[in-house]
Chain A
Amino acid sequence: MPEKFDCIVVGAGPAGTACAYELAKAGVNVLLLERGEYPGAKNVMGGVLYRKMMEDIIPEFYKEAPLERPIVEQRFMMMDKESAVTFSYKGLEWGREPYNNFTVLRAKFDQWFAEKAVEQGALLVCETVAVECIVENGRVVGVRTDRPDGDIYADVVVLADGVNSLLAKQLGFHREWRPDEVALATMEILKLDKNVIEDRFNLEANQGCTIEIFGDATKGILGTGFLYTNKDTLSIGVGTLLSGLIKHKIKPYELLEYVKNHPMIRPYIQGSEPVEYLAHLIPEGGYHSIPKVAGNGVLVVGDAAQLVNAIHREGSNMAMTSGRLAAETIIMAKEQKDFSESMLDQYRMKLMESFIGQDLKKYKDATHHFESFPQYFEQYIPMLNRATSQMFTVDGASKWEKQKKIWRDLGSTKQKFKLARDMMKAWKVMK
């Protein structure tokens, strides 16, 4: 007779581990299944981990977790072919407790986090793939794994299996994601001496910097590039909607090579050595793409539920919070011995009331808007660069004259109206 658990969580990423941690802490008998050799073995993230949502689970985790650097500066580059307009904020308050966020390397972090869940009493089994949910009489009662005697049962199953979530798809919770609902990101970890990193990025020891790159990083395709500082490595990457890659017939690694060789970026990474190359999908459909997240005996959390805020590159925090909210719901369901969809659907309500639902709602049309109107990345960022250059080049022309030139560069009256209208629209989808 196969064993029965209170709960099985599929996937030991931030979403699944957060859920298993909270359940185990409450005394729920939970099995955490992971296909990797260890949690994090193949997981990919640029690497910004947000302190607040992690602390909701483990207070003062930063005193022992394997973190790279606390971020004290965030830069945003609007990049053209050989220029960039950069906006940045640096604040030393971010370098002190309680901190704002940190860079992490997922292979180390996920492993540590999962160990914490095990300490709480969760049972972690790796190198095991859940191949499908076992469904009996219209409710999920367990999962089938790829191992011999591989069926295992539970009152409730949590799908935390990441962006592709084959298991939720098999249940009919979502269809195959459209190419404009997922971004493909490629990244490299580059080894570079600690002191060189600190010199180049104007940092002291135990301070970090993130750079988000818009415009020419993606050759005008909707997406972003990033360059983050770790202890003695840099994470560099670029992500664009799959639909953009298909439309422009560009291979993702070509884009990454392009960014690495861009004259605005190259000096930062010069002399570094690639130690790892990674590629992963990011769910970026946003609010409109959130699938069914609760069924009879089953919940969906994290990337599997499309919970990513692409505009603010927040995913791991939403994963953790959704995992925590799923755990809260399961604890309640267990008290009432009711694992039906109507009971578990309280999770959806919690999700929508939290910052996750609110933020995804705020930007619900943003990605789609920028995807449909490529001029933002293709024309307006270069325009901004030209205007800035014009204004700050001292060539004897008066500032009045310069403003006139910038005005002329915006094009005909009709084009200016269009620009004004586009800015209004952008404001509307972002506000």
Chain B
Amino acid sequence: MLHIVACIKQVPDTKIIKMNPKTNTMDRASAPAILNPYDAHAVEEAVRLKKKYGGIVSVLTMGPPPAVKAIKKCIELGADEGYMISDRAFAGADTLATSYALTKALEKIAKHRPIDLIICGKMTIDGDTGQVGPGIARRLNIPPLTGVNKVVEVNKEKGYAIVHRKLEDGYEVVKSQLPCLFTVEKDINDISFAPLPNMIKAARYQPTIWTADDLEDVDRKQLGLKGSPTIVSKVWAPPKPEGGKILTGTKEEQVNELLSIILEKKELFS
């Protein structure tokens, strides 16, 4: 039986979030909290693999108490178990401290049920770094496979997985040992419409919640703000690009117009 753990994060919906014009930071109260879109695909993939090979899907998040809602969303998508680590000690974590705390939680989960595969999103839509997945893999000393957009096979008996990794000009097929960690692209799958029994299960579900004290062998200096060497010296909004022209009409018309614009700029050819 496969045990797959998806790492998920609750994020403000940055499609509609307002920025504080003075500090250029996000006004988190101005947007509803949602499940990070990439992570929904991570959970969906885990559930599809469970259906294909049999097994159990757990989800893990580090976040404040309202993040329980993001876990419930994952139960709707078909996850079986939810774990959350939540404590003031974790607050203010950068990617280094986040991956440390998540690793400690993963070790605790693995004690209870060994983990074969960890799936993360490619990145979050609020932090945008894409560093947490590889950070976890490095700490657990397992192979990170980033940019996965197709899982060909997961073979627990023989201990390997085969995936497609998205490249700029195509994809590469990679075979890796298990356990390993994927970070997934959005095009890996389409999110399914959850069946009603999952919705009812999610409405009732209460995840297992651990504080820093519940984790074992934790070096408190590596948690939260204390464990975060990242210093944000300045945040600014990129200037809006000016000028430019958008061509309209049929493809032929657009190409013709583009050509005549290029030809007019003689210096291009001189």
Query: Cβ of B194 and Cβ of A123 under 8 Å apart?
Result: no
- Chain A positions within 8 Å of B269 at CB level: none
A396 within 8 A of B: no
Chain B interface residue bracket vs A? under 10
How far does the alpha carbon of A149 sit from the alpha carbon of B195 in the complex, in Å?
6
Query: Cβ of A145 and Cβ of B204 under 8 Å apart?
Result: no
- Chain A positions within 8 Å of B204 at CB level: 123
- Chain B positions within 8 Å of A148 at CB level: 193-196
What are the interface flags for A1-15 relative to B under an 8 Å C-beta threshold, 1 for contact and 0 otherwise?
A: 011000000000000
Query: Cβ of A147 and Cβ of B199 under 8 Å apart?
Result: yes
B197 within 8 A of A: yes
How far does the alpha carbon of A128 sit from the alpha carbon of B196 in the complex, in Å?
8
A187 within 8 A of B: no
Query: Cβ of A150 and Cβ of B195 under 8 Å apart?
Result: yes
Task: For chain B, residues 120 to 179, give those with C-beta under 8 angstroms from any C-beta of chain A.
Answer: none
Closest B residue to A122 using CB positions: B203
Query: Cβ of A150 and Cβ of B196 under 8 Å apart?
Result: yes
Task: For chain A, residues 133 to 163, give those with C-beta under 8 angstroms from any C-beta of chain B.
Answer: 145, 147-152
- Shortest Cβ distance from residue B148 to the other chain A in the assembled complex, whole angstroms: 27
A203 within 8 A of B: no
Query: Cβ of A125 and Cβ of B203 under 8 Å apart?
Result: yes
B200 within 8 A of A: yes
Contact of B197 among A3, A123, A124, A127 (CB under 8 A): A3
* Beyond A31-B200, A147-B193, 20 additional pairs, beta carbon < 8 A: A3-B200, A123-B200, A123-B203, A125-B196, A125-B199, A125-B200, A125-B203, A128-B196, A128-B199, A147-B194, A147-B195, A147-B196, A148-B193, A148-B194, A149-B196, A149-B197, A150-B195, A150-B196, A151-B196, A152-B196
A interface vs B, CB < 8 Å?
A: 2-3, 31, 123-125, 127-128, 145, 147-152
A-B contact pairs, 20 of them (CB 8 A): A2-B197, A3-B197, A3-B200, A31-B200, A123-B203, A123-B204, A125-B199, A127-B199, A128-B196, A128-B199, A147-B194, A148-B193, A148-B194, A149-B195, A149-B196, A149-B197, A150-B195, A150-B196, A151-B196, A152-B200
In the complex, the 3 A-B pairs of residues with the closest C-beta atoms, listed nearest first: A148-B195, A149-B195, A147-B196
